Amino acid sequence: MTAETTLKAYEKVIKANKGVYYLKTNKGERCLKKINYGPQKLLFVYGAKEHLINNGFKGVDKYFLNIDGDPYALVNEDLYTLSEWIDGKECDFHNIDEVKLASKTLASLHEASKGYD
C-alpha cells in the first residue's frame, strides 16, 4: 500500500497544491509535504518553527508529531511532514498595502527568531 493509497482510505479530501497535499479531515485542514532534505535539517527547521511559535509568531505551520514523537514520517525512505493548513497568498509587489503588510510580518518573524541558532 502506498502513502497516497493509505491517505485516501482515511481522509475526506486530498488536493495537490504547489508541491504539498491539502487534506480535509475530521480533525481539521492539514498540509502533507514531502521533504527534499535529510532529517537533521528537518529537525533544525522544526526547532526554528517551535522557537517562532513560542516567541509569539503565529504565522508558521506547526508540525504534528508522529507516535514516536518525531515531526516527520518516513515512508519508503522519503520524509513527510504533517502540519496545520494555513491559508495565504503571495504578496502582490505592485500593491503597496500588501508590501507594507508583508514587511511588518517579516519584521515580526525576525524579532521572534532572535536567539535561535
pTM for the structure as a whole:
0.79
Q: By the 8 A CB rule, do 31 and 21 touch?
A: yes
Retrieve residue 50's grid coordinates. 517551535
Please give the residue range of the domain that contains residue 75.
Answer: 3-89
pLDDT truncated to tens, each residue of the chain (117 aa)? 565 655 555 555 666 666 789 998 889 999 999 999 999 999 999 999 999 999 999 999 999 999 999 999 999 989 999 999 998 889 999 999 999 999 999 999 999 999 998
Which pLDDT belongs to residue 117?
A: 82
Q: How many CB atoms lie within 10 A of CB 30?
A: 19
Residue 106 lies in a domain: no
**How many domains does the structure of the chain reveal?**
1
CATH number at residue 59: 3.30.200.20
Residue 56 lies in a domain: yes
Which pLDDT belongs to residue 19?
A: 73
